[in-house]
Amino acid sequence: MPEPKTAPNIANAEALKKMYEDMLLIRRFEERAGQLYGMGLIGGFCHLYIGQEAVIVGMQAAATPKDQLITAYRDHGHMLACGMSANGVMAELTGREGGYSRGKGGSMHMFSADKKFYGGHGIVGAQVPLGTGLAFANKYRGNDGVCMTYFGDGAANQGQVYESFNMAELWKLPVVYIIENNQYAMGTSVARHSALADFSKRGVSFNIPGIQVDGMDVEAVEAAGKEALSFARSGKGPIILEMKTYRYRGHSMSDPAKYRPKEEAAEVREKRDPIDHFGQKLIQRGVATENDLKEIDTRVKQVVIESADFATTSPEPALAELYTDIVI
């Protein structure tokens, strides 16, 4: 039987294409950020999200506008996926007045109360109690928001993560803990840093359920995200999603990633790249054509070029900003 020429469900097709576009935006944005870093326009630490795009995009597809999110310092993708502007994020990376924190936060410290994005935190694991506290606020107020709290396989070894797990389950807080297992805590592989490599089981002693998810498959992430959010929203307490993913670049811009063979990253990129494979799927299913994807690529490139332009022309913050926003 010949395959149908058009997608069976147009509404869903748009949503799928949107996910593709969101992932591609993150990829192109991060590539450009890497370039600006190389040109000396971005300073300090800059942790790129390339390779992990399906995690945040799939989760955002599953989330509702009342759900909050919070993460660590590999945060550019999270900000773009929750609808923060590429201009504002890129201008923060260059430390300019037009940045989300008016140049005072940098790559690791951006926030948008409007988009319910609560940072952007530089201390490994510290965002986990904070996200649990946001969930506490949801329960206290009696709204049905859920806080999506992201952290990596490295942060999963911090003590405060387990302090949070205990209270979240004890008080049945609406929180989804998303462990982005990209296989490396900076330069130390999971096998070298974790006694138990299955992070979905990290909540077992607190009676918190966990699910392992293919974090390179945006649809699998979305499905698991919906299930987890629904679980937490229904008052059953926290749940863990372990996203098996991979970062292509080093830990930060200054990391040559010598601790792993080059072939490893090349193989993941070849066989499991979240964007390429999802694009192929869309074409195979008749959801999008090659031409559709090219158009998306053009649009995304334009957004990214504009953001780089904005980020390099926006002025540095006024010197008077040194003493503002400390206490009010």
Partner 1 sequence: MATQILMPALSPTMEEGKLARWLVKEGDVVKSGTILAEIETDKATMEFEAVDEGRIGKLLVAAGSEGVKVNAPIATLLADGEDASAAVTSAAPAAKAEAPKTETPAAAPTAAVAAPAVEIANDPSLPAGTEMVPTTVRIALRDAMAEEMRRDPDVFLMGEEVAQYQGAYKISQGLLEEFGDKRVIDTPITEHGFAGIGIGAAFDGLKPIVEFMTWNFAMQAMDQIINSAAKTRYMSGGQMSCPIVFRGPNGAAARVGAQHSQDYANWYSSVPGLKVIAPYFAADAKGLLKAAIRDPNPVIFLEHEIVYGRTFDVPKMDDFVLPIGKARVVKEGKDVTIVSYSLGVGLTLEAVEKLEAEGISCEIIDLRTLRPLDIDTVIASVKKTNRIVTVENCWPFGSPGTEVASQVVAQAFDYLDAPPGKVTGKDVPMPYANNLEKAALASVDDVIAAVKAVCYRS
Residues near partner 1 (CB under 8 A): 68, 70, 99-105, 109-113, 118-123, 126, 128-138, 140-141, 147, 159-160, 163-164, 166-167, 170, 324-328
Tell me how far apart the alpha carbons of residues 44 and 322 are, in angstroms, rounded to a whole number: 18
Tell me how far apart the alpha carbons of residues 175 and 89 are, in angstroms, rounded to a whole number: 26
Nearer to partner 1, 121 or 272 (CB): 121
Taking the CA of residue 16 as centre, how many other CA atoms within 13 Å lie in the half-sphere pointing to its CB? 24
State the nearest-atom distance from the C-beta of 85 to partner 1, in Å: 14
Tell me how far apart the alpha carbons of residues 161 and 177 are, in angstroms, rounded to a whole number: 10
Nearer to partner 1, 58 or 237 (CB): 237
State the nearest-atom distance from the C-beta of 143 to partner 1, in Å: 10
Beta carbons of 221 and 55 less than 8 angstroms apart: yes
Nearer to partner 1, 124 or 239 (CB): 124
The region, left, alpha or beta by phi > 0 then psi within -120 to 50, assigned to residue 317 is beta
Nearer to partner 1, 154 or 279 (CB): 154
DSSP 8-class letter at 117: B
State the nearest-atom distance from the C-beta of 52 to partner 1, in Å: 23
Nearer to partner 1, 58 or 317 (CB): 317
State the nearest-atom distance from the C-beta of 151 to partner 1, in Å: 13
Tell me how far apart the alpha carbons of residues 247 and 249 are, in angstroms, rounded to a whole number: 6
DSSP 8-class letter at 325: S
State the nearest-atom distance from the C-beta of 92 to partner 1, in Å: 9
Question: What is residue 11's three-state secondary structure?
Answer: helix
